[in-house]
Amino acid sequence: MHERAGTPALPEDLIDVDEVVSAYYDRVPDVADPAQQVAFGTSGHRGSSLDSAFNEAHIVATTAAIVEYRRAQGIDGPLFIGRDTHALSEPAWRTALEVLAAAGVHTSVDARDSYTPTPAVSHAILRANGAGTSGGVRTEGPGRADGIVVTPSHNPPRDGGFKYNPPHGGPADSDATSVIAARANEILRTGWEQVERMPFERAVASEHVSRHDYLTAYVDDLVNVIDVEAIRKAGVRIGADPLGGASVEYWAAVGERHGLDLTVVNPRVDPRWSFMTLDWDGKIRMDCSSPYAMASLREKMRADGGPAPFDVATGNDADSDRHGIVTPDGGLMNPNHYLAVAIEYLFSHRPDWPAGAAIGKTLVSSALIDRVATGLGRRLIEVPVGFKYFVPGLIDGSVGFGGEESAGASFLRKDGTVWTTDKDGILLALLAAEVIAVTGRSPSELHADLVERYGASSYARIDAAATKEQKAKLGRLQPADVAATELAGEPITDRLVAAPGNGAAIGGLKVTTENAWFAARPSGTEDVYKIYAESFRGPEHLALVQEEAKKVVDAALGG
pLDDT of res. 140: 81
Does a structural domain hold residue 363?
Answer: no
* pLDDT of the residue at 150: 98
In a domain, residue 435? The reply is no
Distances (CA, A) of 191 to 196, 198, 200, 228, 492: 11, 17, 21, 52, 54
Specify if 302 maps to a domain.
no
Residue of 108, 122, 153, 406 marked catalytic? 153
**N-terminal to C-terminal alpha carbon distance within the chain:** 28
Please count the other Cβ atoms lying within 10 Å of the Cβ belonging to residue 538: 13
Q: Give the DSSP H or E segment for 176.
A: helix 174-190
Round to whole Å and give the CA distance between 348 and 482: 40
CA distances from 449 to 403, 443, 453, 495, 500 (A): 20, 10, 6, 31, 28
Range of the domain at 549: 458-556
Residue 518 contacts residue 447 (beta carbons within 8 Å):
no
Whether residue 254 is contained in a domain is answered as no
Give the burial string for 234-267 (b: 16+ CB within 10 Å, else e).
bebbbbbbbbbbbbbbbbbbbbeebebbbbbbbe
> Quick one: residue 281, left, alpha or beta (phi over 0 = left, psi -120 to 50 = alpha)?
alpha
Beta 261-264 vs 323-327: how paired, if at all?
Answer: unpaired
Residues 221/224/225/228 CA torsion (nearest 10 deg): 90
Q: Which of 189, 216, 243 is the last residue of a domain?
A: 216
Q: How would you list the strands of the sheet with 159-165, edge to edge?
A: 40-41, 44-48, 159-165, 146-150, 79-83, 107-110, 209-212
On whether the CB atoms of residues 339 and 324 are closer than 8 A, the answer is no
pLDDT score, position 304:
64
Q: CA-to-CA distance for 541 and 520, rounded, in angstroms?
A: 18
> Domain for residue 451, yes or no?
no
Please count the other Cβ atoms lying within 10 Å of the Cβ belonging to residue 534: 25
| CATH number, position 527 | 3.30.310.50
| Domain end point (choices 196, 216, 236) | 216
Q: What pLDDT, in 10s, does the model give residues 100-150?
A: 999 999 999 999 999 999 999 999 999 999 997 777 888 788 899 999 999
Total number of domains constituting the chain: 2
- Quote the CA–CA distance of 511 and 519 in Å, as a whole number: 6
pTM equals: 0.96
Q: Indicate the residue type of 193.
A: E
Q: Is 153 a catalytic residue?
A: yes
Report yes or no on 163 lying in a domain.
yes
What CATH number has the domain bearing residue 80? 3.40.120.10
Please, which residues have CB within 8 angstroms of residue 309's CB and are 6 or more apart in sequence?
Answer: 237, 239, 263, 300, 301, 303
| Ranges of the chain with pLDDT below 50 | none
Q: Which of 183, 216, 249 is the last residue of a domain?
A: 216
> In which element (H, E) is residue 358 found?
strand 358-362
Alpha carbon distance 41, 38 (integer Å): 10
Percentages (nearest 5) of helix, strand, coil residues in the chain:
40, 20, 40
DSSP H or E run through 162: strand 159-165
- Vertex 336, ends 549 and 351: CA angle to 5°? 135
Q: Identify whether the C-beta of residue 286 lies closer than 8 Å to the C-beta of residue 245.
A: yes
Beta bridge partners of 41: 44
Q: Residue 69 is inside which H or E element, if any?
A: helix 56-72
According to DSSP, residue 334 is labeled P
pLDDT digits (tens, 9 = 90+) for 149-192: 999 999 999 999 999 999 999 999 999 999 999 999 999 999 99
